[in-house]
Amino acid sequence: MAWKKQRDELLSTVLEMDRLGLVSGTSGNASVRLEKAADPNAFLITPAALPYPTMTPGQLVPVNGAMEPLEGDGVPSSESLLHLAIYRARADVRAVMHTHSVYASALAVAGRPLPPIVDELVVYVGGQVEVAEYGFPGTEALARAGVEALGDRRAVLLRHHGMFAVADTAKEALRVCALVERVAHIFICAEAIGGAREVPAASFEAERRMYLERAGLT
Ligand SMILES: [Zn+2]
């Protein structure tokens, strides 16, 4: 079985995603860009409709940039097109995670972006988390809308659906998912007690520069 190390790392991270309650049942998915693959956009992704607690490293599906399986006969996640679109658009991204966490999904349902209300959100995610135009799950249209709304940041909300996070590693993508969920919760609480306020403009600019420098996007 090829890519053993990447399979083990991705599996342990999705198990943690499941334990944290960021998805329910077999929903959500995650992938990593494959190392030592002929195709630079090849990636390893969780399989469609299999429960996380009993998932094995061999059930993760390696696919190339044409979405053809590179090994085994597993069925890749139904949201693979959006993962592929992100790897094509963002050379800096090596891992993608998609969750249906409650507060981030509440914002996505309301069509409300998550503004930069917490310093940490700007430093680690790059600024306001935008809401992508609605697209039917699993389609090219959703993949295009998701990539456009993601921009150069590390998270995006999918209307009537959930969120996507991108990072250097699967563990870091999980950290972004958990952070966005926490800040979405804080935002909704703050709105209920008089209104959330954004971080001061000068701080936003400094934090945004820190984000771009760390991500190598300057
Ligand atoms: Zn989903």
139 CA from centroid of ligand 1 (Å): 12
52 CA from centroid of ligand 1 (Å): 15
Are 163 and 185 in contact by the 8 Å Cβ rule? The answer is no
Please report, rounded to a whole number, the percentage of residues in the chain having pLDDT higher than 90.
94
Encoding tokens for residue 65?
């940039």
Tens of pLDDT, residues 158-198: 999 999 999 999 999 999 999 999 999 999 999 999 999 99
- pTM for the model stands at 0.96
Q: What domains can be seen in the chain, in order of their start residue?
A: 4-214 (3.40.225.10)
Are 131 and 108 in contact by the 8 Å Cβ rule? The answer is yes
26 CA from centroid of ligand 1 (Å): 10
Comparing 5-14, 32-41, 144-153, 190-199, the range with the smallest average pLDDT is 32-41
128 CA from centroid of ligand 1 (Å): 21
Comparing 135-139, 144-148, 198-202, the range with the smallest average pLDDT is 135-139
27 CA from centroid of ligand 1 (Å): 6
68 tagged catalytic: no
End-to-end CA distance of the chain: 38
Number of residues written out for the chain? 218
Catalytic hit among 9, 79, 172, 207: 79
DSSP per-residue letters across the chain = ---HHHHHHHHHHHHHHHHTTSS-TT--EEEEEPTT-SSTT-EEEPBTT--STT--GGGSEEE-TT--BSSSSPPB-TTHHHHHHHHHH-TT--EEEEE--HHHHHHHHHT--B-S-SHHHHHHH-S-BPEEPP--TTSHHHHHHHHHHHTTSSEEEETTTEEEEEESSHHHHHHHHHHHHHHHHHHHHHHHTT---PPPHHHHHHHHHHHHHHTT--
What are residue 98's DSSP bridge partners? 29, 164
137 CA from centroid of ligand 1 (Å): 7
Residue 152 pLDDT greater than 90, yes or no:
yes
23 CA from centroid of ligand 1 (Å): 9
Encoding tokens for residue 208?
């945004």
Contact residues for 110 (Cβ-Cβ < 8 A; gap 6+): none
The whole-number average pLDDT for the span 6-34 is 96
Are 173 and 29 in contact by the 8 Å Cβ rule? The answer is no
Tens of pLDDT, residues 95-112: 999 999 999 999 999 999
